[in-house]
């Protein structure tokens, strides 16, 4: 039997399969099942920036004057977060009021006292808020690492690519200044220059990057002629973007890489490890097939390694990254042109 252990964010994992942040990681019962299914680590369901702002403002003062601080906090965050409609804004504010930081921090403590595998806390953030209030509390609660799920849609005509890059850097600086646990970024593929931006981010104090988060995408209902909700879960074909950019960035960035979105089977997990990822995150497949699917993916990975005489993950990780293949251009435009030529 192969040795599936690996290292990610400086954490020793028994295998590279991490359960990504999702609703399934919001209960101790599920997390215990994931540990029993042999998951390498678990990312807790994200806490939203609105919750942090609301709670931080409450702690500023206990008198009526705290209302002004609370209002300022919400005003600041609303300027940075793009809401699709007023109902979404109202929902997030009410959600922040009902789901407190104390609950989240208490949950981290509960989980850490109940399981042995690494637990990674998660913040869903979109602005350069003053993270000193909360980052320290995440660490004090016992989290092994912190994942910042940052999705900033570059849709503001008044902002340049440099403006967005600076926002990422400020978030990183404000978090890493106050914690010693490893910090990772879960990023989107919306960037004017992914390679340049991500390499610069990788040497800014983070320990890892997750490629990529799955954004909410709107759809159109042609019968009602209105905007509708897009597909929530990933499909088996969604891994290709993560595969390409993992392979291109592997060996060039100054931190670990984890692949996410579209990992539904062991074959895809193997591909992304070959491309150079240190770990892979799964979520959608667990909704579709159940938490025990973790075992099936790991069994498939183990059998594949045995069949190819690999004793450890490191023997093949990154074997097919761009810097390690004979024709690096195959990860770029040449691949498309070859396929196009075969079709026509």
pTM of the model: 0.82
Residue 150, pLDDT score: 80
Cβ proximity of 4 and 313 under 8 Å:
yes
CA–CA separation, 50 vs 57, rounded Å? Answer: 11
Helix, strand, or coil (residue 294): helix
Torsion sign (Cα): 138, 142, 145, 149: negative
Helix, strand, or coil (residue 241): helix
The gap from C-alpha 49 to its chain's centroid, in whole angstroms, comes to: 15
Query: What are residue 259's DSSP bridge partners?
Result: 211, 280
Domain spanning 6-318, CATH architecture: Alpha-Beta Barrel (3.20)
Give the model confidence (pLDDT) of 235-248 as tens digits. 778 899 999 999 99
Helix, strand, or coil (residue 89): helix
Among residues 225, 227, 182, the alpha carbon closest in space to that of 205 is found at 182
Residue 301's φ and ψ, nearest 5 degrees, are: -60, -45
What is 140-196 written as a DSSP string?
A: HTT-SEEEEEE------TT--HHHHHHHHHHHHHHHHTT--S-EEEEE-S--S-HHH
Give the model confidence (pLDDT) of 123-143 as tens digits. 887 665 666 667 888 999 999
User: How does 143-162 read in b/e, with b if 16+ C-beta sit within 10 Å?
Assistant: bbbbbbbbbbeeeeeeeeee
Residue 103, pLDDT score: 87
Per-residue pLDDT of the chain (344 residues), as tens digits, is 899 999 999 999 999 999 999 999 999 999 999 999 999 999 999 887 766 666 655 554 443 444 344 445 445 544 554 444 444 445 445 554 445 678 899 999 999 999 999 999 998 876 656 666 678 889 999 999 999 988 666 666 777 767 777 888 888 888 888 899 999 999 987 776 788 999 999 999 999 999 987 766 677 888 888 887 767 777 778 899 999 999 999 999 999 999 999 999 999 999 999 999 999 999 999 999 999 999 999 999 999 999 999 999 999 999 999 999 877 767 665 445 455 455 54
Cβ proximity of 247 and 266 under 8 Å:
no
- Lookup result for tokens 């599920």: 30
Residue 164, pLDDT score: 73
Q: Tell me how long the chain is.
A: 344
List the domain boundaries for the chain.
6-318
Residue 228, pLDDT score: 75
Summary count for the chain: helices (H), strands (E): 13, 13
Among residues 216, 173, 174, the alpha carbon closest in space to that of 82 is found at 216
């Amino acid at each position: 039997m192969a040795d599936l252990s690996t290292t990610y964010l400086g954490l020793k994992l028994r295998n590279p399969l991490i359960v990504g942040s999702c609703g399934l990681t919001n209960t101790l019962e599920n997390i215990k099942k994931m540990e029993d299914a042999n998951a390498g680590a678990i990312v807790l369901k994200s806490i939203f920036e609105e919750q942090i702002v609301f709670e931080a403002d409450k702690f500023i003062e206990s008198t009526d004057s705290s209302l002004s601080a609370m209002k300022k906090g919400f005003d600041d965050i609303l300027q940075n977060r793009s809401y699709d409609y007023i109902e979404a804004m109202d929902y997030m504010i009410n959600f922040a009021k009902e789901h407190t930081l104390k609950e989240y921090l208490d949950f981290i403590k509960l989980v850490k006292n109940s399981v042995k595998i690494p637990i990674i806390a998660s913040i869903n953030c979109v602005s350069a808020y003053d993270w000193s209030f909360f980052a320290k509390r995440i660490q004090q609660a016992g989290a092994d690492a912190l994942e910042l799920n940052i999705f900033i849609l570059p849709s503001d005509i008044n902002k340049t690519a440099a403006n967005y890059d600076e926002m990422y850097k400020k978030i990183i600086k404000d978090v890493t200044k106050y914690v010693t646990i490893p910090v990772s970024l879960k990023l989107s593929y919306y960037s004017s220059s992914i390679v340049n931006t991500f390499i610069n981010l990788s040497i800014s104090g983070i320990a890892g990057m997750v490629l990529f988060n799955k954004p909410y995408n709107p759809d159109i209902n042609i019968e009602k002629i209105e905007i509708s909700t897009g597909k929530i879960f990933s499909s088996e074909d969604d891994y290709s973007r993560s595969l390409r950019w993992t392979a291109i960035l592997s060996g060039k960035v100054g931190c670990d890489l984890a692949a996410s979105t579209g990992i539904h089977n062991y074959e895809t997990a193997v591909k992304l490890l070959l491309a150079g990822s240190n770990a892979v995150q799964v979520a959608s497949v667990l909704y579709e097939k159940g938490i025990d699917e973790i075992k099936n993916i790991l069994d498939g990975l183990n059998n594949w390694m045995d069949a190819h005489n690999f004793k450890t993950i490191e023997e093949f990780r990154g074997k097919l990254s761009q810097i390690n293949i004979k024709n690096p251009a195959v990860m770029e435009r040449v691949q498309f042109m070859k396929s196009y030529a075969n079709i026509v």
